[in-house]
Homo-oligomer: A and B are copies of this chain.
Amino acid sequence: MSRPLRADAQRNRARVLEVAAETFAAEGLSVPVHEIARRAGVGTGTVSRHFPTKESLFQAILLGRMEELVRQATDLAEREGPEEAFFAFFAAMVGAGAANKGLVDALAGAGFDFQAVAEESRYDVMGAWQALLEGAQRAGTIREDADIADVKALLTGCIDRERHAPDPSARARMLTIVRHGLHP
């Protein structure tokens, strides 16, 4: 509606977004906004003008990741069989979670309502999950009564495993356990 952002404003916005994504991923959502500003080399006012609240900053970051995730999920659904697609996406989410503390905080509800962001986004992450799950269920590789919340809980567990007790072999083992557990 209004005219485009001034060139320096665009640069700063992008830089803040990038630094914030890295920082939240590495250290979680508890990092102060002042610190984000400092690391990005801008004033706190600049951050809060582009993103009025800390939550809006985090939402903007998530939105960028959503597209990628949904694309990955639909790609998998087309290319692989229903079983592999589901578990490949599950594994990808575990990897993303292990590398992204901010995402874990959000999933754990420690601060922000991930669910709400996911729902009001134009990228339907939950829908993509649902499709993968239902595909695998129709193919008979996942028990009929399991639902998305069950899957999310198992995902939370896998990510928790990696965060609290790092162990090179843990991820594969947990994925195996989950796979067996979900089998009909």
**Interface extent on A, as a size class?**
20 to 34
- Whether B157 contacts A154 by the Cβ 8 Å rule is yes
Q: Which of the 9-residue segments A2-10, A53-61, A70-78, A167-175 touches chain B?
A: A167-175
Does A15 belong to the interface (CB within 8 Å)? no
- Whether A161 contacts B165 by the Cβ 8 Å rule is no
Q: What is the oligomeric copy number?
A: 2
Does A49 belong to the interface (CB within 8 Å)? no
Name 19 interchain pairs, CB-CB below 8 A, sorted by A.
Answer: A108-B108, A108-B160, A110-B110, A143-B177, A145-B169, A146-B173, A150-B170, A150-B173, A152-B161, A152-B165, A154-B154, A156-B157, A157-B157, A157-B158, A157-B160, A177-B182, A178-B181, A180-B180, A181-B182
